Amino acid sequence: MTLDGAPIEALPGDTVAAAVLAHSGKAFRTTAHETPRAAYCMMGVCFECLLEIDGKANVQGCMTVAEDGMVVRRQNGLRRLNGDTDE
């Protein structure tokens, strides 16, 4: 899969959040106030793992099974209404 354009790997069955964590312990996103956040609960409760996955914004990475060729992007700052990343 790719994360912000760079290739990353996952094993079959891994969630996207697990793959992103295995790649680096860095932030998954920044909040509206620009503070960094990363996956916290890994069980669908906290919504800290929100990522853009295959063009869809605000997807829970910990509840999404990784698939070959997925395009994953970190989300920075406020979401725009059309779902685009804020760049």
Binding of residue 49 to ligand FES (CB under 6 A): yes
The amino acid occupying position 40 is: Y
Q: Sign of torsion, CA 53 25 76 78?
A: positive
The residue among 46, 42, 72, 41 whose CA lies nearest residue 57 is: 72
Which is nearer to ligand FES, 13 or 82 (by Cβ)?
Answer: 13
Q: Which is nearer to ligand FES, 60 or 75 (CB)?
A: 60
Can you give the binding site for other proteins, defined by CB under 8 A? 10-11, 13-15, 18-19, 21-22, 25-28, 31-33, 35-48, 50, 56, 58, 62-63, 65
